[in-house]
Amino acid sequence: MKLTDGTHLVPVTFTVRNIGNAPAGAFAVKATYRLPTLGEDRWVALHSAGRQVTIPSLAAGASRVVRALVKGMRPETNPATITLHADSCIGDEFMPVHCNVLERSERNNSMLKVVYVE
């Protein structure tokens, strides 16, 4: 969707899945994006919740859809790389309890998507 300032609002959808064999307690989900022209990460608004969504729990094998809205994109800034961070408190000064889901591997908590504006 093109905004009045000439930038675009781009929706992106991610699926967060518990691939373990035990339920997960509450955890935070955040997203950042990187435009080649900026060279820095910026926060993405997740659904209507702002910078983060807290998923209260996720049963073993269950999944939940998280929607992000990337603001400020222009065709000349293509592409943008959006990274979703689950069970993460990136940017938080202190580690809240919802960042501490115990799991076998912490290396599967992020996902990348590349998006373009036409």
Does residue 3 fall inside a structural domain? no
By CB atoms closer than 10 A (0-12, 13-18, 19+), residue 17 is: middle
Asked if the model's pLDDT at residue 73 lies above 90, the reply is no
Does residue 16 fall inside a structural domain? yes
User: Domain limits at 42?
Assistant: 8-115
Burial 58-79 (b: 16+ CB within 10 A, else e): beeeeebebebebebbeeebee
The total domain count for the chain is 1
Q: Which two tokens stand for residue 62?
A: 């269950």
**CATH classification at residue 17:** 2.60.40
The whole-model pTM stands at 0.71
Does residue 1 fall inside a structural domain? no
For the segment 73-96, the average pLDDT, to the nearest whole number, is 70
Does residue 38 fall inside a structural domain? yes
Q: How far is CA 110 from the centre of its chain?
A: 8
Read off the pLDDT of residues 95-111 as tens digits, 9 standing for 90 and up: 555 455 556 666 677 78
Give me the pLDDT at residue 60, please.
93
Read off the pLDDT of residues 19-56 as tens digits, 9 standing for 90 and up: 888 888 888 888 877 766 666 666 666 655 566 788 88
- For residue 112, give every residue at least 6 positions away whose Cβ sits within 8 Å of its Cβ, in sequence order, or none: 81, 82, 83
| 68 to 21, 22, 31, 100: CA distances (angstroms) | 27, 27, 8, 23
Does residue 2 fall inside a structural domain? no
Give me the pLDDT at residue 64, please.
92
Q: Which two tokens stand for residue 79?
A: 């592409």
Peptide bond into 75 cis (omega under 30): no
